[in-house]
Structure formats: structure tokens, C-alpha cells
Structure 1
Amino acid sequence: MNITRDQAICRFFFCEDYSKENAARLSKKIEEFGSFDVCYENDPKRPVMVHLSVNRNDPTTFKRYLTEESAVDLEEAIEAKSELVSERQVITFLNEVNKPADPQNEAVYCLQEVDTKEIYESFISKTECMNKKSEVAFATWCSKTKVSYLGEPFTRKRSTGSNKRYRRLYVMKNEFRENAVKSIITSIPRYQNYISSLKKQGCTIIGYAGHNNEEYRKRLLNSMVQCLKERSLCDAVSVSWSCSAASNIASRDMNVNPELLTDLIGVEGDTQSMISYINSSVTDICLVAIDFAGLSTNVGDLQNFFK
């Protein structure tokens, strides 16, 4: 779930309703602290106040929130805009901007009916590595690379003299896209360099994802697994098909039908198989968790799990 800086300040730091007026007022309170800002470690719903120098020195631990750019910022960004320099970055951008499932953030995303041409035009100006591809070639490339928005089937809209095909997608608003590009080309590479350094030290990177909402469960879990493989460079990924974030980790998936996991792509096992692997491993383990509530909201159980 993408949470903006303004949302984090209002809802989760000062526990007030989100509005532009409240965000402006509360942001001034943050400014009064001096060289500090709100960041988050694992859960964006739990902001912490961190000195800016600490954030600069350790951006993988203390992550910055997505910010909405002003009109002046956008003009400056156009003059010195960031560019996606690889096909992998383009895929990440397309997956972030066009979501087939509801990301549950109306401030950043809105439901739209979009066709392939609109998606093509939304990114082609942000990269040179793809500018030789035509719209038709782009559609073929998307099919081969399996970008996530293809999970939403086409719908036809017939009108006089036309037969338009479109998809209903949750599309990131324009004012957030430049910062999304900057995050892709800066924050993600730094994070991946950190993960790579752990691998060089002999660590095994284990990914873990869970979801307890029955609606869109398969699609959301597959999206999480893909993110763990591609962004976090995980060597193996385990999932919990259905669990509460407050449930004891050791008791998860005790009675889950293993055939359910066959519907997921790139998954090695469930919570129980992950625990067995960790207990038997002779190498250090780095556990990367993806969930709206992280690995667990049960602090005591989390401490016991890592003992």
C-alpha cells in the first residue's frame, strides 16, 4: 500500500484526519523540529521521526515516503527529469503505475478505463531504452514480460463507428509519477546493492508474504512473490495463504491444503516449510517480509520467533 508523506503525518504520526489543510498545518510542526522528518522502517503506517543525516546514511533502514510534487516542482522535474534506463526499470514503473487490484489508496490511485495506447504514452517519454518500440511492439513486449496489468482482461466498449478495448485499472495520479521514477532509479538500486552485499557475505535471502483477504488473494500473493523475487532478489519465497498479522507465526498454515500453493508462481512452500528451512540452515538468513502489516503485529511473538 503506497502511503504519502502527508497521509503518514496526518493519520499515523499525529492521529488526525487527512486533508490538505491538516497536512500543511502538521507539516509546519514537523519543520519546527529542525533537520528531522518522518520516515518508516518496515510498516509505512508506523512513522518515526529521524534526523535527515541518519536517513541519508542509511536509506534502506529509514525509508522516505512518497511525496506529491507541486506545479513548480513538476516544471523543474521536466527540465531535469529522471529517466528509466533499463527494461527492468520500465517493468517496475508499469507495475507501480497500473495496478489490476485495488491498492486501497484513493489519494494516489484512481480507477480508470485505459487502453494500451494510453499506457504506452504514459511511460515512453520517461525512457530512451524503449523509444524505438511502436505501440504494437510495446504490446507484444508486455505480453512476453508478463507485466502485472495484463492480469486484468480487456473489456469492449462499442459506440458509433468504434469498438474500443480497454482495461479497468487503478492508475497512479500524474503528480506522483516523477517521484516514482526517482525511487525506481535510486532507492531500489541502493536497496538491491545492500541485499547483494548480504549474499556476498554468505546470507540466504528468504522472502515471506501473507494475506488474509479472500478477495483477490491469489493475484495479490502472486504480485508480492514477484516483488520479492525481482526487487528483493530472494533466493526462495514462502507464503501464508491465509493468516492474521497478529497470529502466532509458529502456528500459521498448520492445516492448509498444500495444493493451494500450486496456484502461485515461484513459491517454495508455506510458513511451516519456511520455519523448517530456517531451523535446518547452516548459513545466516535474511528474512524479507511483505504484507500490509509486515511479518507480524504481535511484538512478543516476533521476539520469540527470532530468538
Structure 2
Amino acid sequence: MTRKGTSKRRKWLKIIGIISVLLIVALGGYAYLVYKSLNEAVDTMHQPIDREKSDKRVEQITLEEREPFSVLMLGVDEREGDKGRSDTMIVLTVNPNTQSIKMLSIPRDTRTEIVGHGTEDKINHAYAFGNEEMSMATVENFLDIPLDYYIKVNMEGFKDIVDAVGGINVNNKMAFSQSGKQFEEGNIELDGDAALAYIRMRKQDPNGDFGRQERQRQIIQGVIRKGISFNSLTNFDDIFDALGRNVRTNMTFAEMRDIQKNYRDAAGTIDQLQISGSGEYIGSIWYLIVPEEEKVRVQNELKEHLELEVTEAPA
């Protein structure tokens, strides 16, 4: 090779080297911005609760060892001067060994013991009586499983989260209109405003509140799947900002990091569960009464998913 050729080669190597360094710096800066934004959002979201360790779990779970865990998701309509009620109560069990999530909606009118209040009432009243702590204790008692975490979402602001991930796709089972929006049957794209209207429709649905619960699970499933996709990283600032304004949880930043690292594959399969019962008036109030055998059926499905000992069905 001539001196001239060698000189050109060295020149290009220097240029490639400089470009490589710039790319590394740029990626490092981007990673830092993502980390900083996430940290700030988590600081705002983090809301510890005054609650003793669940008596449903003998030992605390270890996320580093990929043990199954559970989450109570509360959807609360919070308005100024009113802390609201948890009209949406969804239990998620996450098992990385089976690479799956089970999602159970609990009907808000379900009659059960309100743990810590000394009454039997609609299960969603637990939040009004005693915030996240009483909600967790009441749902634990009803389902006979430990609840490791809670996530509270302000449903008024949930549309911001849907918009932040770039909208979602759902499979709508029936055509209907709600809040001035028309929803066709089949696969449809939803932005934040449409998603909020989609989950609030109930009166036109022949399945009533059960139909609304299924739509709520569809929206959450869509956000989970869109949120973990690579493309959503380009919107990280909007996503973290929306989460910081509308979500509260007892998860720490370290726990979120462990879940993202060790449980990511679990989102591959999301099974939607349903618990059924019959309506009954007690006094002048309508409740959903869940038979004991139905309750045990659902309890055992969740226990198996959490790799806990199941309960014998009632005779």
C-alpha cells in the first residue's frame, strides 16, 4: 500500500473513531435522560403505606429470584375536594416461570367483609373508609392471597397515559356510542379521550358491569404491551410525566428496576379472569353476592399462579 493510501486509511479510521465516540456519548446522554426522568417520576409516584406484612405470605418475596408476585390496581375517580371511590379494582398476578400474567376484575358491588371497618359492604367502599391499606386488606381477605403491591391510577388522568404511549389497539366486541364517540365492532385504535369513554360505557352493554370490566382489562393490557415496546422509549418523557401525575404505588425504584429486568417476559401472555355471582337487594341496597364455591375457584386459580397451596373446594 502506498503512503498516500495508508494516510487516507488512517484518516478514515480517525473519523470512524470520532463518530463512534460521539455515538457512545449521545447514547450515554440519552440513557441518562431516561434514567433521570424515570427517577423523578418514581419519586412522585412512590407512596408507602402504613401496613404490616401480609399474613397470607410466610416469607417476603425476592424479586431477584424471580418469585411470582401480586398487585392490586385501583382505578379512582379523584376530583378536587373528594378522594373518590375505587370503582375499578383489578388484581394482577405475575409469574415469570410460566411467562404469564393473570388479571382479575372484582365487581365494585361485591358484598364482603371490609377488613378494619367491622362491616360487610360493597368492596369498593374499602377505599373510601381506609384508603389503599383497607382496600388491600379487604381484597386479600376476599381472595385469600397475599397482595405485595398496589398501584392507584387516577382515572380522570388515565387518558394522559394512553396518549403518552401513542394510543392503543383493542378488539371491541360490540358497536356502541359513548360521550359523543362512536366505537365500531372489531379492532379499533383508541387515543386517551376515546379510551376513557370506552371503559366508562356500561348501560348499553347487555353484560352490564362485567362488560365494562372486560373493557377496563383490555385498556390496561394495551397500555402494558405498548409501554414495554421499544418504540415507546422515544416518548419516555411524556410517559414518565403522565405516570408521575396520575399514578401512586408502594413500589420503590429498585423494585421497579428488578421487575423490568426479571419479569419482562411475563407480559407475553395476559389471561383475563372473571368472578361471577348474583344480584341481591339487602335492605334497599343492591349487592353482588359471590357463592363460596365460585370464590374458591378463583382463589385457587390465583394461588396456583402464585405457586401457593390451594384450598379444598367446599363439600
TM-score by length of structure 2 reads 0.23
**Higher Cα Rg: structure 1 or 2?**
2
TM-score by length of structure 1 reads 0.23
Q: Which has the higher strand share?
A: 2
> Greater relative contact order: 1 or 2 (C-alpha under 8 angstroms, separation 6 or more)?
2
